[in-house]
Amino acid sequence: MVTARRAPGNCHFNFGQDVMLANSPGGVEEHLLQVSPRGSGEGDEAFVDEEEYEPPNMPQGFVFQVLILSTWGDPYYVGLNGLELYDDDGDRIRLTENNIGAYPDSVNILEGVSDDVRTPEKLVDGVNDTLDGRHMWLAPILPSQLNRVYIVFDYPVTVSMIKLWNYAKTPNRGVKEFGILVDDLLVYNGVLDKVSTTLNSSNTNLRSMKVPHRTVLFTRDKELLQQEHSNQVRHSSYGHDVHLLNNSQRVTSGGSYLSADQSLRPLTSLVPPTRSKSLHNI
C-alpha cells in the first residue's frame, strides 16, 4: 500500500506522483506534519532561546515549499544559488530535477527571453558557492504574485535542516524575507542574509571564492546545532517589512514593491555558448 499525495490545486509544478510497487520508502506511514512536543529532547533550551518562536521538530511531508516574500531591493527579479535538504539522520537528501519546481519557473517565461540557463534544476546541481550564473536560478517578480520554489517527493520525507545559498551574481536580486511550508502548513519564516557585494568584484577568482550558506534547523540534535550555529538563519537579524499579505498578494515589503512598472523591467540573459557566440550576459 502507498499514500497518495494530495493535489496542490494549481499547476505551479508537475504534481504527477510515481508509485513504487516495491520497497516504497513511505509505505502507509502517517505523512501529515509531525511535531514533537516542547521539551522532548536535550538541547531544547539552547534551541529556543536564540529564536523568536520554536519551529517544529523534524517536519515530514511530500511537498516542501520556499515562499519568497521580498528581495534585497530588486523589484523585477529574484533568485537563489542553491538549496539542500537533510534527513532525520543529518544526511543530505539526493535531489534531482524531478524533485524541483518553481513558480514563476524562470526568466524564460518572459516575452523575448529563451534559452536562459538559470532554471530551477540549477538549485540542486550541487554547485552552490559560486558566482557563475550557469549554476543559479532566476525568475521574474510579477504583479500580484508571490514567487515559490517547490521540492516535491513521491513519498513522505522527514527533514532535519535546509541549507540555502542566496543569489550571488547580483546580490540585490537575492531572497530577503521568506517562509517554508510543508504540505501547505507554515513551519518557518525568517530573513536570508544578502550575499556580500565584495564577492562580486571584477578581480574575484570564481574558483577560489566562497558564497556562504544559511541553515534553517528543524532538529534538537546537539551535534547539528553546534555544527550549524554560525550559519543559522536568524529571525531578529533584520526587521520584517512584510506587513500584509492579501489573497497571496504582496502588499507591503521593504525589499520588493507591488507597483513596479513592468515596462521598465531591465533585460537579463544568460545563454549557453554557441559556435559563433560565447556565453553572454546582459
Torsion of CA 225, 226, 227, 231, to 10 degrees: 70
Residues 6+ positions from 127 with CB-CB distance below 8 Å? 82, 135
Give the model's pLDDT for residue 278.
46
> For 64-78, how does the pLDDT look when each residue is reduced to its tens digit (9 = 90+)?
999 999 999 999 999
Which pLDDT score, from 0 to 100, does residue 209 have?
60
> For all residues of the chain together, what is the average pLDDT?
80
pLDDT of 197 above 60: yes
What is the mean pLDDT of the segment spanning 107-125?
94
| pLDDT of 264 higher than 80 | yes
User: In whole angstroms, what is the distance from residue 182 CA to residue 61 CA?
Assistant: 6
Residue 271, burial from CB neighbour count under 10 angstroms (0-12, 13-18, 19+): middle
Confidence of residue 269 (pLDDT cuts 50, 70, 90): confident
Task: Work out the pLDDT band at 23, boundaries 50, 70, 90.
Answer: low
| % of the chain exceeding 90 in pLDDT | 50
Which carries the bigger pLDDT value, residue 267 or residue 251?
267
Torsion angle of C-alpha atoms 185, 189, 193, 195, degrees rounded to 10 = 20
Residue 118 has pLDDT above 60, yes or no: yes
Per the CB < 8 A criterion, the answer to whether 118 and 106 are in contact is yes
> Where is 140: in which H helix or E strand?
strand 137-140
| pLDDT at 277 (0 to 100) | 47
C-alpha to C-alpha distance for 96 and 99, rounded to whole angstroms? 5
Look at 243 and 117; give whichever has higher pLDDT: 117
List, for residues 199-243, the tens digit of each pLDDT value.
655 555 554 467 889 999 999 888 888 888 888 876 544 555 554
Cα 202 to Cα 116: distance, rounded to the nearest angstrom: 23
Residue 77's contacts (CB-CB under 8 Å, 6 or more residues apart) are 71, 107, 138, 139, 140, 141, 170, 173, 268
| DSSP code string of 40-104 | -STTHHHHHHTSSS-PPSS-EEEEEEEEE--BSS-SSEEEEEEEEEE-TTSPBPP--TTTEEEES
Give the CA dihedral 110, 116, 119, 125, nearest 10 degrees: -170
Mean pLDDT of 258-275: 79
Q: 162 in helix, strand or coil?
A: strand
**What is the gyration radius of the CA atoms in the chain, in angstroms?**
19
Ranges 98-112, 215-229, 240-254: which has the least confidence: 240-254
Give me the pLDDT at residue 228, please. 87
132-150 residue pLDDT tens: 999 999 999 998 889 999 9
Q: Helix, strand or coil for residue 254?
A: coil
Tell me if 168 sits within 8 A of 132, measured CB to CB: no
Q: What is residue 67's predicted lDDT score, i.e. its pLDDT? A: 96
Mean pLDDT of 277-282: 50
Model confidence pLDDT, tens digit, residues 34-46 = 544 333 444 444 4
Q: Give me the half-sphere count of Cα atoms (radius 13 Å) on the Cβ side of residue 268.
A: 23
DSSP string, 181-240: EETTEEEEEEEPPPPPGGGGSTT--TTT--PPPEEEE----HHHHHHTGGGBPPSSSS--
What's the pTM?
Answer: 0.80
